Structure 1
């Protein structure tokens, strides 16, 4: 069905019999056809696989120099290759991203591959831009990984005297009975 036939189908029958209306439709049908073609051509430029004259814009956006003698197919392949080149995110890349937000680069990332998570350790004194740090971490980390941010004081302890560490486990409420102590076991460790 031609554009003229489509436009005529929208009108009531008594208008299509008028000579003036037939002439208006004859004049405007080619214009509407050109406008439709222009709209489809413009939307084709939004996608690399269908772009023609829009390839120049894509090359400018992706900073790819155009070489003389390239065909459109070759230019498209180069653009698609550039867009699909996403570098892998490693623990070093995450550390570098985190260190940008710290006063003194202290981030340390420890991965747990089988558990699909990682720890991001950093010094407590370094934290200043937490919102930006978390936003960046959410953007760069793979979607399937969970993470735990752990801020601590990374200082070495020097033991001069004898230190006793107590490792106590307490009973649950359901385990308490009259005469039992509250602690389940009380282990002491003496550090020299």
Structure 2
């Protein structure tokens, strides 16, 4: 919430008792509150991380990003940040740092075969909502002479080993493979 405006507090004490002055102050208060809120929103919209719906729409329009109706504000902010991160040339180390900053450390597996010119990225299920944005970003920054493979890293045996068969029986095979197990 923006700053609270107390108009009466700015007036001399003698005017606090006049009904008309108090009524005018009460009418002006919502207008000033709205103005302060707009100022705060404008400041927040200067930065992608704090942008509200209007700010995110502005960034998407500037960057010509396609928006899905099901996207959350966090997903849309992530897509904007990934577009701003795309600045060539990329080294392997810079690519790792970029993926660390976007997905988080340990949320992906990156393999590179220089001789075969293959770049393989496996993304953890915990960040699968960002999968499409990561694919688009990697396609834009990966050299054209390299084969790019981006996949989800599904649940492995070591993830499911801590559960008993009775606990796992409540899930379908697809759920066991593709859903995050907590």
Tell me, yes or no, whether TM beats 0.5.
no
Structure showing greater Rg: 1
Higher strand share: 1
Q: Which has the higher contact order (CA 8 A, sep 6+)?
A: 2
Q: TM-score, normalised by structure 2?
A: 0.43
Higher helix share: 2
Q: TM-score, normalised by structure 1?
A: 0.41
